[in-house]
Amino acid sequence: MSIDVLHGDIAVIGGGPAGALAALLFARQGRRVLLFEARSAGAAIRDARALALSSASQRHLADVGGWPVDLPATAIDTVHVSQQGCWGRTVIRAADVGLPHLGQVVDYPALTAALDAQLAASGVEVLWGCRVEALDALSGYVRLRYRDGERGGDATARLAVLADGGALIDQLPDISRREHDYRQSALLAQVQFTHPHGGVAYERFSRQGPLALLPHGEDCMLVWTRDTADAARLCEGPPDALAAALQQALGERLGAVRSIGDVASFPLRLRQASRVVGNRVALIGNAAQTLHPVAAQGLNLGIRDAVSLARLLDGAADPGERTPLARYAAARKLDTRAVIGFTHGLMQLFESQAPLVGAARALGMNLLDVLPPLRRRFAGHLVFGVGAGL
C-alpha cells in the first residue's frame, strides 16, 4: 500500500541531536523541512550515554530552543588530564576561554526529549517511525523512498541532509566511507565516589586504556576504553571487579569508589565519509564521521556541521545547488581533519607503554599546563572547533 508523495525544500534523515538542530535551523529560515526519524513518536529512549557538550554546542542548541533552562545538566568547569604511572598533567579551566563553564553533561534521552518538544512546536514536519530505504539524487531534486510500518511512501526535496550513520551513504555513487576498527569497546557506568567531583571532568590515560569521568549530577559517568574481551568481562562481571580496576587506574583523586551502577558497553570504530557533499546531498554528524569517544569531540563536531551547513545555505534560492554545498565542504574541512587527527592520534600516542614515550607525553602535558597562551588556544579549539568561525 502506498501513501501520497511528500514535497519539501530540505529532507533531513536522522532525528538525533545534529539532525534535529539542522532541521530547526532550516525551519527558522522559512524552509519547508521534512525530518525522517526511525523512532516512534514519544517512544522511550534506552541509551545509557551521557553527552559532554561544549559551551559553544550548548549555545547553538539553546538558540533554537533545544536547551530549555530546566534541562537537567551538570556543568564542567575544569578538565584534568593525566596518565597513569608517569608524571605530567594538564588542567584546563573555564577561565582559559573566558566562559562560566567549559561545557555541560546531559543524558542523551533528556536532550533528545527537549529537541523533540521543540520540533513539535516548530514548522518541521517530522515523520516518526519512518526509515528511508532508498535515495536517488537527480539533477533538480532528490527522491526518497521510505517505509512507515507496513506502508511505503515517496518524498522529494531540493536537498537531502544525512545526519545518521545508516546505509544510505552506500547508495551514493560519489561518496564512500573508510573505517578503522579500534578493536576496543567503551564501558559506560554511573559511579559514586566518597568525594564530590566539584565540576571537574577527568581524562586519565590508564594502562588499560583512556578513561573519562564526567560530572553527572552528584555522581560521575565513566567512559572507559578497554580491549573488547576485557570490556566484556568487566561488563558481565560483578561491579566490585570494575570498582577495583577503576580505583587502581584513577588513584585517590575522588576518594574511594562507593558504588557502580549498571554497566553497558559498545564497540569503537572510526568512520569517515570521503566527501561531505554529493549531488544534492550533504552529510553532517554521524553520517559524516563517527569518532572515538576520547576527548568527547564527536557530537560537538556534528553540531558544528549542522550550524555551518545552515549558515551557508541561508538565503540560497536552491539549497541543493552546487555552490553553497561546495562552500560547506570547504568550511568544514579544517575542523573535521583536525578533530579526527587529534582523537585518532591520541589513541595511537597513548597505546605505547615504553618509558621514553611516556616521558615525552608527560613533557607535552606539562608544557601545555605551564604555557597559558598555548593552553588557552588548545582549550579554545576544544570548545569552539578549529577555524570553524561559529
Burial class (CB in 10 A: 0-12, 13-18, 19+), 188: buried
Helix (DSSP H) and strand (DSSP E) numbers for the chain: 10, 19
* Residue 380 to residue 280: CA distance in whole angstroms: 33
pLDDT for 371 beyond 90: no
* Residue 16 to residue 270: CA distance in whole angstroms: 19
Average pLDDT, the chain: 91
Query: Could you tell me if 261 and 301 are in contact, meaning their C-beta atoms sit under 8 angstroms apart?
Result: no
**Domain membership flag for residue 174:** yes
Q: Residues of 246-280 as b/e, b for ≥16 C-beta within 10 angstroms?
A: beebbeeebeebeebeebebeebebbbbeebbbbb
pLDDT for 2 beyond 70: no
SS3 state of residue 315: coil
- Res 264: pLDDT: 92
pLDDT tens for 14-65 read 999 999 999 999 999 999 999 999 999 888 787 878 999 999 999 999 999 9
- Res 48: pLDDT: 75
In this structure, are 231 and 257 located in the same domain?
A: yes
Burial class (CB in 10 A: 0-12, 13-18, 19+), 74: buried
Q: What is the CA radius of gyration of the chain?
A: 21
In this structure, are 173 and 184 located in the same domain?
A: no
In this structure, are 221 and 307 located in the same domain?
A: no
* CATH number for position 245: 3.30.9.10
**Domain membership flag for residue 224:** yes
pLDDT for 365 beyond 80: no
pLDDT for 1 beyond 50: no
In this structure, are 197 and 322 located in the same domain?
A: no
Enumerate long-range contacts of 310-316, CB under 8 Å, 24 or more apart: 310/22, 310/25, 310/26, 310/29, 311/390, 313/26, 313/29, 313/159, 314/29, 315/29
In this structure, are 286 and 343 located in the same domain?
A: yes
SS3 state of residue 122: coil
- The boundaries of the domain holding residue 318 are 6-45+109-179+271-349
pLDDT tens for 332-353 read 999 999 999 888 877 776 666 6
In this structure, are 290 and 153 located in the same domain?
A: yes
pLDDT tens for 60-98 read 999 999 999 999 999 999 999 988 877 778 999 999 999
- Res 390: pLDDT: 55
Q: For 99-103, 167-171, 224-228, which range has the lowest pLDDT when averaged over its residues? A: 167-171
In this structure, are 295 and 345 located in the same domain?
A: yes
**Domain membership flag for residue 265:** yes
Tally of domains in the chain: 2
* CATH number for position 276: 3.50.50.60
SS3 state of residue 344: helix
